[in-house]
Amino acid sequence: MNQDPMRFARKTLLLPLMLAACGEAPEPTLKGIALLPADRFVSGPTSGQFIEPANGRTPPFERRQPIGGFSALIDADGLGSYLALPDNGFGTRESSPDFVLRVYELLPVFRTPSGGPGSIEAAPAFVLRDPDGHIPFPIVADLELYPGSDIPVDPLIRNGRLLTGADFDVESFRLVADGTFYFGDEFGPFLLHTDAGGNLLEPPIPLPGVWSPQHPLLGDREPNAPRSGGFEAMALSVDETRLYPMLERPLVGQEGQLNIYEFDLESRAYTHSDPYDPPFKYRMDPKAVAVSEMTAVDEARFLVIERDEGQGPTARWKRVFLVDFNQVDAEGFLIKTEVLDLLDFADPHDLSRTGTGRFTFPYETTEALVVLDGGLVGIINDNNYPFGLGRHVDVGQPDDSEFILVQMEPLP
């Protein structure tokens, strides 16, 4: 299929990074930007029936689903096509039973120093479903009515056994060597294993010894993980033999510590026995409330995004750090090196069209990062449609999905 050559514009950016004349590493620089407008929908079950109006948008959205923003990103082919994962939809389990879990293919045409429109085409790649009944607890597709309501569950969800935002909160995913996918969920937390078409291949894989308040099989157990504290980030080793799911928030009694676990893909089992003694420990900055992404650079090194809950003028902490699994401090925590402040870095070509020479990425949920070639990284926000208000504060309009390319300084 012929494609617009601008889709391959980022290939012109993948040049070795030169050091500045003074011998110091140059500042991270904006090299590309593309937008997917907030009000983009695909056909599907009526959605938004359990949320309130926000930012000029009034639900429900009849016979359609918002694409929304993205919590995870995969470079699909090295040529400009990406797979992107929204989370559970409208922010909570209670608000999202009519939001279908889905993966999209993104084709950005970046605005770069050489030109380009700065647009994104998005198309559904597949939906998540459980056609063979692997899930050992009721899901929305098993019900006549949406939970706590008198609204009938849409036949598309019931008949297709589609998974929804009330079943799982998928926040991360990785494509592994056999062509299947693993998704990281926050409610359990669980790992979900699907085929290339999104069909569940086995029951959800729990994290032994960890229970969130939203765990569907919690029963009388006392939760030891906070609400929305499960697998937000999940890296894949470069040899594609291990997953590294990471808790978004600390376990009870481990304030300030985030645990990184190791899941062996051959045995399909965790390599640890005690959830409080993980293979790797990460110390979160006091100004952050969560880690939202971890992505492999090479076999030992990973990029990690820390964020606060601010957006727009209240955003204070959106940082990217480099960690090396072979480097820990005296207390056994990974040593962090800051490599990018997302709230203030260089835009010398005025790709943002602000005229300031600086760029800021002021979104509450900055959650997806992909490592490309030549020191380039791609980052996209979750716009929390229709609630996100990080960029258009002055006009009260929901955030777009903003995909940026950043040329990083050489990694140590």
Considering only CA atoms, give the Rg of the chain: 21
| pLDDT tens, position by position, 70-92 | 999 999 988 899 999 999 999 99
| pLDDT tens, position by position, 122-169 | 999 999 999 999 999 999 999 999 999 999 999 999 999 999 999 999
Q: What local confidence, expressed as pLDDT, does residue 112 receive?
A: 97
Q: Report residue 206's pLDDT band, with 50, 70 and 90 as the boundaries.
A: very high
- Enter the pTM of the model: 0.93
DSSP state for residue 224 in the 8-state scheme: -
Q: Report residue 228's pLDDT band, with 50, 70 and 90 as the boundaries.
A: confident
Q: What local confidence, expressed as pLDDT, does residue 410 receive?
A: 65
Beta bridge partners of 301: 324
- CA separation for the pair 170, 48 (Å, rounded): 18
Q: What local confidence, expressed as pLDDT, does residue 25 receive?
A: 66
Question: Taking 50 as the threshold, does the pLDDT of residue 14 lie above it?
Answer: no
Give the number of C-alpha atoms closer than 13 A to the C-alpha of residue 248, restricted to the C-beta side: 29
Domain ranges across the chain: 5-13+25-212+223-407
Q: What local confidence, expressed as pLDDT, does residue 21 receive?
A: 36
- CA separation for the pair 374, 371 (Å, rounded): 9
Beta bridge partners of 30: 406
Q: What local confidence, expressed as pLDDT, does residue 146 receive?
A: 98
Q: What local confidence, expressed as pLDDT, does residue 78 receive?
A: 86
Q: Range with the lowest mean pLDDT among 7-11, 35-39, 76-80?
A: 7-11
- Bond before 386 cis per omega within 30 degrees: yes
Within 10 Å of residue 121's Cβ, how many Cβ atoms?
A: 15
Q: What local confidence, expressed as pLDDT, does residue 24 receive?
A: 60
- CA separation for the pair 408, 106 (Å, rounded): 23
Average pLDDT, the chain: 93
Q: What local confidence, expressed as pLDDT, does residue 277 receive?
A: 97
How confident is the model over 193-220, as a mean pLDDT? 97
- CA separation for the pair 59, 172 (Å, rounded): 27
CATH architecture of 5-13+25-212+223-407: 5 Propeller (2.115)
Question: Taking 60 as the threshold, does the pLDDT of residue 53 lie above it?
Answer: yes
How confident is the model over 267-287, as a mean pLDDT? 96
